[in-house]
Chain A
Amino acid sequence: MTTPLTSATMPDGPTEAIIRVEDVHKRYGDVLAVDGVSFEVRRGEIFGLLGPNGAGKTTTVEMLEGLRKPDRGRLTVLGVDVARHPDRLKPRIGVQLQTAALFPLLSVEELIDLFASFYRRARPTSELIDALDLGEKRRSKVRDLSGGQQQRLSVALALVNEPEIVFLDEPTTGMDPAARRSLWGLVTGLRERGTTILLTTHYMEEAEILCNRLAIMDHGRIMEVGTVAELVGRRFQDRAVHVGGLSGLGRDRLEALSGVRGVAVEGDEAILYTRDVPGTIAAVLAAAEASGVEPTDLLVRRPTLEDVFLDLTGRALRD
């Protein structure tokens, strides 16, 4: 079991901790949904909770939103003790629940107007409709929307009050690839406006593209916290260097090259595992030059989160 890594915070600085979770536990009957979770989210970052279904991500997020009370531990959001004063927090956060749940007989426009009325200040409805690309559906009833459209609507509702922190629980589930990319763009845009975002996901690609930092969660525990590069780098020091057109060079010669710790040959392409990428590339090029072979492709790849997750939990994230 690795200890969660939380870096030191600088109050009021750009990396001030805006969300602080300290040793939080939550049990439902016999199930320990959250088992001693601690992490911090800094102002202005996109923080991801990555893990399979049932890992405790949603329970953690709902405790941060003030919807559930922890059995033990402390949650501080925007300086507010969430369990004690959820009402002080609610005007300042935006929430998208995992199961999009809305008034089925209201139209998109009516629903956004309704939610806007709950807050002192709200973004114009038309602006939100445009931002979430719901223009054609503005007068459609919620129950007539597709799953992806309902999902976009519930993201729109999370943004109604220009929140300082937005919680997105599996925001792209049910979306087609185009809608997913457009939502990623929106989330990135929010960060650029200074909004902090905490999202849960079980999509590796989403975590890699969006999150500044993320926590890998499984069985109610945080396995590891860091940037994608840190998480992967901590487990896998090697890089994979793919070189094409080297078939004439011979496996033995490749294995003898500087820094190479392993070699895989797939047809015309050789994959060299190394901790010294520049040294290895220089050695490959020199060897090719000496043998009169011309390399065609060159690709340096690092191990993915998928590899990290597999290594941490012993199982694949995706089915």
Chain B
Amino acid sequence: MRSLWMLTLANYRSFVRDRAALFWTLAFPVIFVVLFGTIFSGSEAPEYRIGWVDRDGTPAATQLRDAVTATTILVPTDVTDDAAAEAAMRDGDLDGIVVVPSGLGEAFAAGSAGGEVEPIALLVTTDPSRQTASAAIGQTLAGVAGAVNLQLSGGRPVLVVEGRAIQADELNGASYFVPSILAMALMQLGVFAAIPLVALREKLVLKRLAATPLSRGTLVGGNVTVRLLIAAVQTVIIVGLGVLAFQVVIVGGPLAVAFLVVLGAVTFIALGYVIASFTKTEEAANGVTQFVQLPMMFLSGIFFPLELLPEWLRGLALLMPLTYLGDALRQVMVGGVPFMPLPVDVAVLAGWLVGCVAISARYFRWQ
């Protein structure tokens, strides 16, 4: 136990004293968040007035209204008449309109009972010419819907958000980028683990350690532990920056987010060990790592949604574990539109994890 702690400490010290590693794992994702956050969030006040048309009238609808109010980004005003609401929107008194369809209460009740439910849709009207407002309203509502779904049915879609502006502008906004860039950062943290590992082997440090009673399990444990700690730091920095500087609303519970962060980090660390299994020199590990991480960075829906990719590239994206981590984090953290059902994302990541561990166990050489 003491040797695990000392090894973790040694790995931590080696990491923080390596400027390049620090840059890639901490500064690089922060730069992206700031860059995209600044580009895609305007200078408008982050508070939007929406007309609230309640055609359901059950307590569930009232709770939903309270949840929307609680975001502090949307300020609902009750309106009974669609036409009046549209007029108010044209006059600039409202930034958008939300119609709660009748049957919401029933659908919620059925959803929480665990039955199969036809998803019920909130109808949202926004002004597509006001990009930032449209995006903010759409994403905030999507976030609320995501939280409701998580609470009611563990994430199966009971409540969805419909509206042109939302679909089209999904890309625009820090809400999309924060979970995506967190996924990217975790991916890089993991696969870059290959480089110091290969360097230690090349310099015969691993061989020297093999001459001590230290078990290989402890050696790997120290390595993984320190990377998980760094993953936690990355998560706090990236999410904190998104929430404080770019008004991103995190709807997922901390446990669900932590689960995905750990699963993602461990999966990509295992991928790093696979890379280390097939490279002999530090330079080779460097090259292979870039070869693995760059396509993932650009094709896994990190910088633009997968729907925008041509068919054949989307097929490629489906092969990449980062696609599933990004999708899962967007769903859970900001209620993003699912590319895959959440259980599929988790299952694919778990599959990659098991596969990578098996390959490393078979092919990784200590000397």
A and B form one complex: yes
* 1/0 contact string of A132-163 vs chain B (CB within 8 Å): 00000000010000000000001001000000
Q: A294–B208 Cα gap in the complex (Å)?
A: 61
Do residues A67 and B203 form an inter-chain contact, with CB atoms below 8 A? no
| Residue in chain A with minimal CB distance to B214 | A118
> A103-B14, A105-B13, A105-B14 are contacts. A115–B212 as well, Cβ < 8 Å?
yes
Q: Is B256 an interface residue (CB 8 A)?
A: no
- A105: which B residues are within 8 A, CB to CB? 13-14, 17-18
Q: Does B113 touch A at the CB level, under 8 Å?
A: no
B210 at the interface (CB under 8 A from A): yes
CA distance A104 to B13 in the complex (A): 11
Give B254 Cβ to nearest chain A Cβ, in Å.
Answer: 33
Question: Interface-forming stretch among A13-21, A89-97, A228-236?
Answer: A89-97
A104 to B205 CA separation, bound complex (whole angstroms):
10
Interchain nearest-CB distance for B210 vs A (Å): 6
A97 partner, pick from B2, B5, B10, B211, beta carbons under 8 A? B211
Q: Are B10 and A101 neighbours in the complex by a CB distance under 8 Å? A: no
Q: Which residue in A66, A99, A111, A114 is a CB contact (below 8 Å) of B211?
A: A66
- Report which residue of A66, A90, A104, A118 has the largest number of chain B beta carbons within 10 angstroms of its beta carbon: A118
B198-236 CB contact bits vs A (8 Å, 1 = yes)?
Answer: 001001110110111110000000000000000000000
Interface centre among B2, B7, B212, B367, by most A CB within 10 Å? Answer: B212
B196 to chain A, nearest CB (A): 9
B3 at the binding interface (Cβ < 8 Å): yes
- The reply on A87 being an interface residue by CB < 8 A is yes
- Asked whether, in the complex, the Cβ of B205 is within 8 Å of the Cβ of A101, the reply is yes
Name the A residues within 8 Å of B213 (CB-CB).
Answer: 87, 90-91, 118-119
Query: Are A65's CB and B7's CB within 8 A?
Result: no
A83 touches B (CB below 8 Å): no
Q: Report Cα–Cα, A157/B18, bound state, in Å.
A: 24
Using Cβ atoms and an 8 Å threshold, which residues of chain B touch A102?
203, 205, 208
Find A117's partner among B6, B207, B210, B211 (CB 8 Å cutoff): B6
CB <8 Å contact, A104 and B212: no
B214 cross-chain contacts in A, Cβ below 8 A = 118
Q: A103, B3: Cβ atoms under 8 Å?
A: no
Which residues from A are CB-within-8-Å of B2?
117
Contact A67 B10 (CB under 8 A): no
Within 8 Å CB of B10, what residues of A? Answer: 103, 106, 110-111, 114
A79-132 interface with B by 8 A CB criterion: 87, 90-91, 93, 95, 97, 99, 101-106, 110-111, 113-115, 117-119
Closest approach, in angstroms, between the C-beta of A138 and any C-beta of chain B?
15
Can you list 19 A-B pairs with a CB-CB distance of less than 8 A? Answer: A65-B211, A90-B211, A95-B212, A99-B203, A101-B203, A101-B205, A102-B203, A102-B208, A103-B10, A104-B14, A104-B203, A105-B14, A106-B14, A110-B13, A111-B10, A114-B6, A115-B212, A117-B3, A157-B208
Q: Which residues of B contact A (CB under 8 A)?
A: 2-3, 5-7, 9-10, 13-14, 17-18, 200, 203-205, 207-208, 210-214, 367
11 extra interchain contacts, Cβ-Cβ under 8 A, other than A97-B207, A114-B7? A67-B207, A99-B203, A101-B204, A101-B207, A103-B205, A105-B13, A105-B14, A106-B10, A117-B7, A118-B213, A154-B208
